[in-house]
Each structure stands twice: as C-alpha cells, then as structure tokens.
Amino acid sequence: MNIKSFLIDIDGTLYDGDQVIPGGPEAIAEIRKRGLPFLLVTNTTRIPKSAIMERLRRLSYEISEDEVFPVPIAAVKYVRDKNPEAVCYMMASEDTEAEFRDAGLQVHREERPSDFVIIGQKYWLSFGEIDIAFRLVRDGAEAVSLHRDMTYPENGVIHVGLGPVVIAMEALTKKPVTIIGKPNPRFFDLSLQKAGFTKDGAVMIGDNFDGDTLGALNAGLKAIQVKTGSYDEQTISDSKIKPTWTLGSIRELCAWLDEKSGVVE
C-alpha cells in the first residue's frame, strides 16, 4: 500500500531539548513539498503546546498550530467525555492543570473527594502527592496518566518519565492506571481522527521503541524507528516485535522514500 501520511514524534525525533536533530527541519520541509501530510504527536507534558511551538520554530521548523497534537489535549477529551463536571486531583504541571481548567473541569491539589487523579510530568512529584493520590484512588477516583514512558531525552541526558509513577500507583492501589498517550492505541486513533488520516498508509516515526514504535504497531500502523533520542538498541534486540523500518535519524527519511518509491512493502 502507498504511504499516505505520517505521525511524527517530537522529543528525541525532531529535537533533543534545545538542540535540533540535524536534518530535521529539512526533512519536514521536503515531505511537505512532496504533498505528504503529517501530524506531530507528543507525550510531552512538561511544557505547554505554546512552548513546544516556540521551540520548534526557534529550531527552524515551519509548523502550524493544527499540526501539533500533545497528549494533555487528548487527556482533557477523555475526562470530559466521561464526566463534563469532573473534579480532578492534579499531579501534573501548572500548564497541564491550566488545560483542564480552561476546558471547564474542576481541578485542585488537595485531599478531597475527586473523580480523577491526573498524573503528568512535573518537577518534582512528591511522596505527599503520591500518598494523597493513593487514598483518592482507593476511595473510587480513576487514576489517569498522560503516558507511561519510562524515560525521555533532553539535551543529551535521559531522564525518568512517568512510567515508574504509574507502576507505583498500580502496585499501591491494585487497580490499573488509565494511560492516555502513546503507546495506547486510543491515542493513535485520536491522532488519526484529528488529522483526518486513515490508518491505511499511515506511518509513525519515533525514537521511543515502547511508546512510538511498538505502540504504533499494536495500533495497526507501520512504524519507522529512528536511532536518536531515547533509542535503545538492547530494548529492540530483546523484543519479539521489530520496527517495520529503522533509520539513523529523521534526516534519512526523504532518501528512504526515494528508495522505496513511496510504497510500503
């Protein structure tokens, strides 16, 4: 089948913190020139969409607002669809809290009856916050994590992600945590729906094997694994499921397209 569209990760694929992935802006410009639509999809919750846009533009990416789909927006939709008047205990950044508040949801950081516990990246999640969240979930709140990435890259350093917090919450409460972002198939479906792409011919490009590559494959998409950001060769070697294709970086995408003549094998 023909390649019709791309979902493209941001952190570790297009940039690494304040550093551009070499060849990234040129690759995006070229696939746009070729008429191949794309949507940038990210599990990032540390900074708001406005800051993501500012960083992309500062690093010479020409991207419009509707070409970026961050996971907090998907999380707000999930909560609102279940309960438009939900009360949410926030274990997340102030920017993520603002997304929920602006959507008309009730948010707080106290120990009081709540419908949801929202888990997002912030500096720093404290023992006290996890302690409160444990009791709220035990009393009936649904724990919702924006993702469960074990790590994320920034400026050449690999940092701890939300995965360990999710594991801790599930061990404490004996209940599953709802995951919104990659690798949840729901997030890929929402991304395709937002962009107006069909699953047939859509290809995910990303650096995180579990979230980007494996998540896309499990959601029924093809996947290109790039060897930048949080790429870990041992993780892929140990997995029974392999990427559809592997590239050194986003820089190689257009040469790869020329090789494949635009056809997915």
pLDDT tens, residue by residue, 128-168: 999 999 999 999 999 999 999 888 888 888 888 899 999 99
Q: What is the pTM of this model?
A: 0.84
Predicted local distance difference test score (pLDDT) of residue 262: 46
Scanning the structure block, which residue is given the tokens 């599953």?
176
pLDDT category, 261, cuts 50, 70, 90?
Answer: low
CATH code linked to domain 83-179? 3.40.50.1000
**Given a cut of 90, is residue 204 above it in pLDDT?**
yes
Antiparallel, parallel or unpaired: β 151-154 and 157-160 = antiparallel
Going by C-beta distance under 8 Å and a sequence separation of 6 or more, which residues neighbour residue 248? 226, 227, 228
In the three-class reduction of DSSP (H, G, I as helix; E, B as strand; rest coil), residue 108 is classed as strand
**Given a cut of 60, is residue 265 above it in pLDDT?**
no
Among 265, 260, 190, smallest CA distance to 34 is for 260
In the three-class reduction of DSSP (H, G, I as helix; E, B as strand; rest coil), residue 89 is classed as strand
**Given a cut of 60, is residue 264 above it in pLDDT?**
no
pLDDT tens, residue by residue, 11-56: 999 999 899 999 999 999 999 999 999 999 998 887 888 899 999 9
Task: Classify domain 5-71+182-260 at the CATH topology level.
Answer: Rossmann fold (3.40.50)
Residue ranges matching CATH 3.40.50.1000 in the chain: 5-71+182-260, 83-179
How far apart are the C-alpha atoms of 39 and 66, rounded to whole Å?
A: 8
